[in-house]
Structure 1
């Protein structure tokens, strides 16, 4: 009987907790800026977050992303060379403050460098603002990964789907 009572309590708690969590998947187009604009033409981002509501307006939780920056061809007096595409896997935390349909947020963490060889990654940050249309949101953000010798940064426009 105690096991049944404990199991029932766990099931009820899990449903209660599940109602206060938000799983989000986002996709964005990126325009490299700053140091990144010299060797990269465009980028794309795929984002995942799982947010817990702290109160009616404030949400926090873990996040992960995949950033891709397309390498450019650069003409020099001694010839043309191709810049290898760069890929990062940022992992960290996300926070969001809701004001009715508008929201402001930030993601912070570490961007693991996946390619090219020698990309060791670095500190990742992304302030963002968005407008929620219910389960879909439009997002404008600036993202950066601080690496040795510069920063991979971009301005991003995308959509996010709440599941």
Structure 2
């Protein structure tokens, strides 16, 4: 997993270095920056899949297009993991990520790749308070929407309790003015 994180980070750095026109943060306008609001639905995998049946969450992000193809920003949200009813002692819990987002958009509309990196705070009566997370994603985007598949992993201090989820999400772009 560490190799995947390193590869994605390296890919984003290479893409950024080939960018021709960069914007400064004070150049924020409705054409290059927006708030993303959306929903995600995931299936817990690995050990977590034995205790949780599905995850449902809200995503929120602020994105700035540093170039025409490369976006950066901050992300957060909330995801609730629902316990399996047939597992004794399993309880629902929540995850609140706080991180940075990196996106590469080859065209103004179409395919995109990206990742979120940061820290996830865990809520509820569970074995850990949180940990570093990575959320690589691939999907489709247009002027208003992003629809994507993702893999999310939270690396906790109790490795037997790492949170791994595969899912889909959709976000709507609200333009800054």
Residue 66 of structure 1 aligns with which residue? 78
Pair 1:151 & 2:158 matched: no
Describe the shift of the 1:37–1:118 C-alpha distance in structure 2 as closer, same or farther (beyond 3 A).
closer
Pair 1:124 & 2:136 matched: no
Residue 22 of structure 1 aligns with which residue? 34
Give distance in 1, aligned partners of 2:27 and 2:129: 41
Instruction: Flag the structure with higher strand content.
Output: 1
Residue 114 of structure 2 aligns with which residue? 105
TM-score w.r.t. the length of structure 1 is: 0.82
Give distance in 2, aligned partners of 1:123 and 1:67: 16
Structure number with greater Rg is 1
Give distance in 1, aligned partners of 2:94 and 2:70: 31
Pair 1:114 & 2:123 matched: yes
Residue 94 of structure 1 aligns with which residue? 101
Describe the shift of the 1:44–1:58 C-alpha distance in structure 2 as closer, same or farther (beyond 3 A).
same
TM-score w.r.t. the length of structure 2 is: 0.76
Residue 52 of structure 1 aligns with which residue? 64
Q: Deviations over 1:70-127 (max 9, x none)?
A: 011345xxxxx14011201010100100022111000010001111255311111100
Tell me, which stretches of 5 or more residues in structure 1 are unaligned? Answer: 1-13, 76-80
The 8 Å contact of residues 127 and 161 in structure 2, kept in 1 or not, is answered as no
